[in-house]
Amino acid sequence: MENLSSNRIILVIVTLLLSFVLTRTIRSLMTRASEKYVHRRIIIKNFIPIINISINIIFIFYVIFGILKVTKDTMLALGLSAGVAIGFAVQDLLQNIFGGLIIIFSRPFNIGDKIRMGEWYGEVMDISLLRVRLKTAEDYAISIPSKAFLQNSISNSNSGALNCQVITDIVVTENLSGEFLSGLAMEVAWSSPYTWLGKAVSVSILDRFDTGVSARLVRIRAHVFDHRYEGRYSSDLSLRFKDEVARHLKKL
């Protein structure tokens, strides 16, 4: 068959390789740009999956109609004869592709967002048709099939912004007044180098009865200026709060 001549097969392979190299290169360049211009990081990364899928679609159409010159009648005949069989054979693959398209175009989250899906919580590092890759606080890379996001609830910590809310719980067993604890927590939060000052800080004091001793839970709700420092921020608040409590007790 003319459409399957060796020259055409070679051209198809070269075209697909070119598509792969081009998408990888664009991904790499845009990732570098996003890390260079930190304040625009999430905006820049949002364009990566859209550009990549657009390039892939263009190259696929070029292969089908430009190189192989498949006619509409041929496409229809192939679709009718093989569509059902292929659908059953690659059902999971098609579900992942559909899930990937829904994620890319409905954008429940973007590259750079901090999300929780099931037991996993981390920064979205990549979105493709087949899977979403997360990076956890422990620096693990987690790949989740795209279809899983259509079947499970998702929480988004920052929704396209760099800052996100961080909740820090500190248990205090010393007999100190709620007024003192609340004031100290506010002072520690506002003075932290990680705090984003564009949103309010709130503190709540809760009695704890499950520790075996009289205790209070100091809960600080504040926003870190970049969600990548979420762990450092919570640790900074906790350590400095406890240090200030220790200094206060020494003065008594």
What topology is assigned to 95-159 in CATH?
A: SH3 type barrels. (2.30.30)
- pTM for the full model? 0.69
pLDDT at res. 66? 81
The whole-number pLDDT of residue 71 equals 72
DSSP-derived letter for residue 157 is S
Q: What distance in Å separates the CA atoms of residue 135 and residue 22, rounded to the nearest whole number?
A: 25
**Closest among 8, 143, 21, 115 to 62, alpha carbons compared:** 8
Residue closest to 52 by CA, chosen among 25, 23, 30, 31: 23
**Buried b / exposed e across 146-158, counting CB within 10 Å, b at 16+?**
bbbbeeeeeebbb
* Sheet containing strand 164-172, strands side by side: 164-172, 215-224, 202-208
Query: Which CATH number is 164-251 given?
Result: 3.30.70.380
Residue-range domain boundaries for the chain: 2-89, 95-159, 164-251
**Confidence band, pLDDT 50/70/90 cuts, at residue 1:** very low
Strand order of the β-sheet with 154-156 is: 141-145, 131-136, 120-127, 114-117, 154-156
Q: How far apart are CA 68 and CA 82, in angstroms?
A: 18
CA distance 42 to 162: 7
| 126-155 residue pLDDT tens | 888 888 999 998 888 999 999 898 888 899
Q: Cα(127)–Cα(133) distance, rounded to whole angstroms? A: 7
Q: What is the pLDDT of residues 154-213, one digit of tens each?
A: 999 888 888 999 999 999 988 889 999 999 999 999 999 999 999 999 999 988 776 567
Residue among 121, 129, 122, 124 nearest 103 (CA): 129
